[in-house]
Amino acid sequence: MLASLSAAWLCLATAGACSNPGPAGSLARFEFVETHMGCSFKLVLYSTGAGEARSASRAAFDRIAALDACLSDYDADSELSRLGLRSGGPPVPVGADLFDVLRLSKEFHARTGGVLDVTIAPVGRLWRRARRDRKLPDPALLAKARDLVGADMMKLDPEKRTVQLTKPGMRLDVGGIAKGYASQAAIDVLRARGVARALVGGAGDIVIGDPPPGEPGWTIAVSGLDPNAPEPLTYLLLKNCAISTSGDAERFVVIDGKRYSHIINPVTGMGVVERASVTVVAPDGGTADALETSVYMMGPERGLSLIEGMPGVAAVYVRETPDGPRVVESSRFKELPRTTAKPAAASPTLPSMTPESLGFDPERLARIDAAIDRSIAAGEVPGAVVLVGRHGAVAHAYAAGKRAVEPAAEPMTRDTLFDMASLTKPIATASSIMVLLEKGKLRLSDRVVRYLPELDRHGKGKITIEHLLRHRAGLIADNPIGDYAKGPEEAWKRIADLELIGEPGDKLVYSDVGYIILGKLVERVSGRSLDRFAAERVFGPAGMAEAHFRPLGAAGPVPPAGRCAPTERESPGGAMLRGVVHDPRSRALGGVAGHAGLFATADDLAAFARMLLAGGVAENGRRVLSPLTVRAMVDPGGTPTGQRRGLGWDVATGQSGPRGALFGPASFGHTGFTGTSIWIDPETDSFVILLTSRLHPDGKGASPGDLRARVATLAAAAIVDAPASRPPTAPAGEAAPSAPSAPASRPENPVAVACGIDVLAADGFRLLQGRRVALVTNHTGRSRDGRSTIDVLFHAPGVKLVRLFGPEHGIRGELDAAVADGKDAATGLPVVSLYGAKRKPSPADLEGIDDIVYDIQDIGVRYYTYSTTLGLVLEAAKESSKRLVVLDRPNPIGGEAVAGPVLDPGLESFIGYHALPVRHGMTLGELARLYNGERKIGAALEVVPCRGWTRGRTYDRTGLLWVNPSPNMRSLTEALLYPGVGWLEATNLATGRGTDTPFERVGAPWIDPVAFAAAMNASRVPGARFTPIWFTPTERQFKGERCGGVLIMIDDWSAFDPLRLGVSLAVALRQSYPNEWKPEKVLGLLGDRASLESIRQGKGASEIMAMWGPELEAFREVRGRYLIYDRGAD
């Protein structure tokens, strides 16, 4: 629900920030943000190290994401939505989370006299449209919807855990309880991981754990009717509780002069019209969230009477009256501890480093401040914020002048939110389009009428998506503002009826209309509004903690308008535009449009710039865009001189003033009408952000073009380690930018990696204390000092190890056939084989067991069976109500690369448990989380992460002893080759088994080694060379036969792609030996029918691999939700 206490809350949390840790073992503060449930969930915690903090936050956010996937009424695939589709039918079994939320809602429905009613959804959907169109719901439709509302028509059976919606057409909306419930669930996850000093909040629903070190509690500001007031009602000092606020300060709609809240009365079916704000403090998040909405609708007398009768619950009710706000506090609210201290200031998203460490001259950088001060003194701008960064960190930040001069002067601050104006185009809209492109939903060459057929008139049928992105669609810059007077629907009809002013593709005409169309395209293709899609797919993943649109009157929870830089009055004598988009067309469209409407801070833009410069990977390690997508966005293509625009970005046009005099032709950026600008230079890995409030207060301020150029020039001149000359990149000084990437100069930080068993032991085995444990392991499960995990746990104090399970190759990793049950000689414990008569533990195997512990070294390949055994053990844990604890280990071939086809449906087997690509780039701990979530197993799962491992580290950079994971996996080189060579052994090809170098050689009796080596070297597999050889394998294919073939040598690990090797081998075999080579049985390992058919058809390696693109991007998106480890600086 809406948070009037957001002013304080937003000070508490920003993405990925960290205070400087103190001495070893001391607690440091870490802050994270992600978008879930349509809003920013923010998390603040205290931990001893960044790795533990990120791992804990990842687990908490995963829990929230799982609840969002279950409880969303926006997602047609959620469990809640699927339940609605079965309304009018028999009882439906549901998961534990959904049932628990519905049980709680039913309980509060009874307590509140029917005020909280999750069956309100049919009415709520009518009001969503009413707020968008600014028209009251049709009375007939409203009456029909109200007939479907009534919690008594929702039947719950706790014993069978079923739900029955007795009337056809019923739908559920748990928005009145879900965010508080999710925040509580996240805190519970953190506590289970030993992180007790934490705070989690989704919008205004905040759950608080133990206080910060040395403090009596967390400082939370409680606001009244106006969250933008200079001071809140009070500051509370809270710990181990939840606090939620409901009100209509920023979520309402005015229709025919009457203000309607977003909160709907289930009895009348109408939005509440009384202005009020309610804050509830309760023992848990679900209770606080449910009560704040209920008390708001019940009124102060009934509502606070309810509160007084509930132990541990307090509330304050603020109500608008003719004489001003009236504040009524419950008795327990009056007793809550208070403070006069304000909350801690927010930490920026990116780290700050000294200018010298980032290659800047600090004295030269300081000249920027003087330039800003002169501009303010000259009256050019009332205030400004500038950030200069490089190599993923901020080197210089300066805020000066005034944020506002009317009605009262306010100082400019670094965390000021600015109306980004046209920066919306590249950051929100173009980036969203490119996300959809990566998902295979559209192509740049597609004609836009394919998705928006209503535009197919007056020649607009020729316009492509690329034309729109580059402002070359032949559209007018802006259509008349009168076209927007009758609301969004009529405005869209007017746009559809526009005539072209030029031939699509002919020339550059900077067009707001074109980006309005692109915003509509995002909505039509994704099925989500632009603001919601951009928040979930761009802002959140990029770590843009406070970037958001502000839909007029129908907003989700947003930062208070008081932190926004005002622009000018909406009309002479009218209200000052503050927290309301300045652009009149965007404002007429409800505040969300493809050309304008984004609000953000300078630090939000810095996070975005860092992401682009790192090839699409954000500071938090999440991939937002692929490197090739970033390159495409900043590539001006064949556009003529003076009209050089990328896909959303300005490269070299008449509007490129923010480049200054020194940044090179590969640099790019954009400006905004309100006085905003960003310029990014891949060559020096730097960015310059300048945000001014130039329109305030009267709209007469001139464009800060000169200031933008001066600041950029001064920033570039302060870089003292840039190359003195630039390699030629394009003729005549016109450079097509290359893909930004992390600079190669970043040093590696050598780290001795500790695996999960070492982390568990260092923590005194606290996770397993007093537990009876079964262990799934083999010879690779060992501590850093060489002891087997069996021995470590067998002798661990407070832990009772009672049974062992062994995977393929047995508990000692020595067998290459079926494995029988047995007994461990060292401990006398029974060993149950999971690669013999059974592949999955039975309930009898798990009797008397509390926890199953899993510790095996995997190699990161889909058809390596240890990951399948993990999935089956996870299923068994769920079926027997046991907890699975995965002691994680590094992915030896690295955790960044994802390659190969994703397993086709219907091809699942013991060598293909889940729809993964051949090379998935995940650890077993991460895979366990993915299996548990995506397969909806729902087991009690705990992952003990490695310490010190980052995704870019291969096994040779961990300091860990190599132990052959299986008899034929004898080196890291063979592990790296296995994703490419392994699937070929399903054909009639010898792959080195039965030699001293498995997978490093391939051959067959019918292969001419010299000719085949020449063909493979001609295929130019990056990072690999091929030597002709003869060899005689002693097992498997062609046992005892002399085979001609090639020895594969990897000479550049950074360039080598094993999947390209595998496909290139298959292509060469098909071309050279079409009759001898039999690929038919490869499907079980390769897992992709289309790839096999393309190999049969003789297609090239690049063409085959290109088919994998869309499904790999879709997998990366899913995978990102379950990753534990940072990308690091590797």
pLDDT tens digits, 660-695: 999 999 999 999 999 999 999 999 999 999 999 999
**Spatial CB neighbours of 254, under 8 Å, sequence gap ≥ 6:** 134, 260, 553
The tens digit of pLDDT for each residue in 263-273 reads 777 777 776 66
Nearest to 250 by CA among 228, 220, 266: 228
Are residues 976 and 948 located together in one domain of the fold? no
CATH of the domain at 426: 3.40.710.10
Which range is least confidently modeled, 77-86, 883-892, 1060-1069?
77-86
What token pair was written down for 594? 């493809």
DSSP assigned state of 338: B
Are residues 1004 and 937 located together in one domain of the fold? no
Which range is least confidently modeled, 115-129, 1005-1019, 1060-1074?
115-129
How far apart, in whole angstroms, are the C-alpha atoms of residue 12 and residue 9? 5
What token pair was written down for 696? 């305030």
Are residues 949 and 1052 located together in one domain of the fold? no
Are residues 874 and 946 located together in one domain of the fold? yes
Are residues 980 and 947 located together in one domain of the fold? no
Are residues 1031 and 941 located together in one domain of the fold? no
**Structure confidence at residue 750 (pLDDT):** 41
What token pair was written down for 311? 């132990």
Structural domain ending residue among the three candidates 909, 927, 957: 957
Q: Which amino acid, one-letter code, is at 674?
A: T
CB crowding 56-79: b at 16 or more within 10 Å, else e: bbbbbbbbbbbbbbbbbbbbeebb
Tell me the pLDDT band of 825, cut-offs 50, 70 and 90.
confident
Nearest to 451 by CA among 394, 527, 351, 539: 527
Are residues 1008 and 935 located together in one domain of the fold? no
Contact 21, 574 (CB under 8 A): no
Q: What's the predicted TM-score (pTM) here?
A: 0.56
CATH of the domain at 849: 3.40.50.12170
Nearest to 509 by CA among 474, 558, 550: 474
Higher pLDDT, 26 or 363: 363
How far apart, in whole angstroms, are the C-alpha atoms of residue 717 and residue 591? 39
**Structure confidence at residue 746 (pLDDT):** 33
The tens digit of pLDDT for each residue in 16-56 reads 334 333 433 468 888 887 878 877 788 999 988 777 788 88
Phi, psi of 561, rounded to the nearest 5 degrees: -60, -25
Structural domain ending residue among the three candidates 925, 957, 989: 957
Specify if 212 maps to a domain.
no
Contact 887, 944 (CB under 8 A): yes
**DSSP labels, 230-289:** SS-SEEEEE-SEEEEEEE-SSBEEEETTEEEES-B-TTT-SB--S-EEEEEEESSHHHHH
**Structure confidence at residue 575 (pLDDT):** 86
Specify if 475 maps to a domain.
yes
How far apart, in whole angstroms, are the C-alpha atoms of residue 175 and residue 84? 15
Strand partners, 236: 220, 338
Specify if 317 maps to a domain.
no
Specify if 735 maps to a domain.
no
Specify if 794 maps to a domain.
yes
**How many domains, in total, are found in the chain?**
3
Nearest to 495 by CA among 473, 527, 470, 466: 473
**Structure confidence at residue 404 (pLDDT):** 93
Asked if residue 1004 has pLDDT above 90, the reply is: yes
Specify if 746 maps to a domain.
no
Structural domain ending residue among the three candidates 957, 989, 1011: 957
Are residues 811 and 913 located together in one domain of the fold? yes
How far apart, in whole angstroms, are the C-alpha atoms of residue 484 and residue 436? 28
Domain range for 986: 972-1087
DSSP assigned state of 464: B
Contact 1097, 995 (CB under 8 A): no
Which range is least confidently modeled, 67-76, 641-650, 710-719, 781-790?
67-76
- Interhelix angle 285-298/300-308, rounded to 10 degrees, is 150
Asked if residue 275 has pLDDT above 80, the reply is: no
Nearest to 545 by CA among 599, 617, 625: 599
Are residues 614 and 689 located together in one domain of the fold? yes
Helix ranges, 418-552 (H): 424, 431-438, 465-469, 488-496, 512-526, 530-534, 540-542
SS3 (DSSP) at 1 = coil
**Spatial CB neighbours of 850, under 8 Å, sequence gap ≥ 6:** 771, 772, 773, 882, 883
The tens digit of pLDDT for each residue in 108-122 reads 999 988 888 899 888
Which value, to the nearest 10 degrees, does the dihedral of the CA atoms of residues 705, 707, 708, 712 take? 140
Question: Rounded to a whole number, what is the distance in angstroms from the first to the last CA of the chain?
Answer: 41
Specify if 894 maps to a domain.
yes
How far apart, in whole angstroms, are the C-alpha atoms of residue 562 and residue 150? 39
CATH of the domain at 1045: 3.90.1150.140
Query: How many other CB atoms are found less than 10 A from the CB of residue 118?
Result: 27
Asked if residue 731 has pLDDT above 60, the reply is: no
Strand partners, 1044: 1004, 1030
SS3 (DSSP) at 529 = coil
Contact 889, 946 (CB under 8 A): yes
Which sign, positive or negative, has the C-alpha torsion 922, 925, 931, 936?
negative
DSSP assigned state of 97: H
Number of H helices, E strands in the chain: 33, 39
The tens digit of pLDDT for each residue in 867-926 reads 999 999 999 999 999 999 999 999 999 999 999 999 999 999 999 999 999 999 999 999
Contact 1069, 1002 (CB under 8 A): no
What token pair was written down for 30? 């870490």
Specify if 58 maps to a domain.
no
DSSP assigned state of 966: S
Q: CB-side exposure of 956: number of CA atoms within 13 Å?
A: 8
Query: How many other CB atoms are found less than 10 A from the CB of residue 453?
Result: 11
**Structure confidence at residue 221 (pLDDT):** 83
Helix (H) or strand (E) holding 710: helix 705-717
CB crowding 866-905: b at 16 or more within 10 Å, else e: bbbbbbbbbbbbbebebbbbbbbbbbbbbbbbbbbbbbbe
Contact 417, 601 (CB under 8 A): yes
How far apart, in whole angstroms, are the C-alpha atoms of residue 316 and residue 220? 14
Nearest to 463 by CA among 444, 442, 479: 444
Asked if residue 801 has pLDDT above 60, the reply is: yes
Q: CB-side exposure of 490: number of CA atoms within 13 Å?
A: 11
Please state whether the peptide bond connecting residue 407 to the residue before it is cis, i.e. omega within 30 degrees of 0.
Answer: yes
Are residues 877 and 1006 located together in one domain of the fold? no
Place of tokens 């490129």: 656
**Structure confidence at residue 1128 (pLDDT):** 58
Query: How many other CB atoms are found less than 10 A from the CB of residue 1086?
Result: 29
Are residues 953 and 976 located together in one domain of the fold? no
Are residues 930 and 1015 located together in one domain of the fold? no
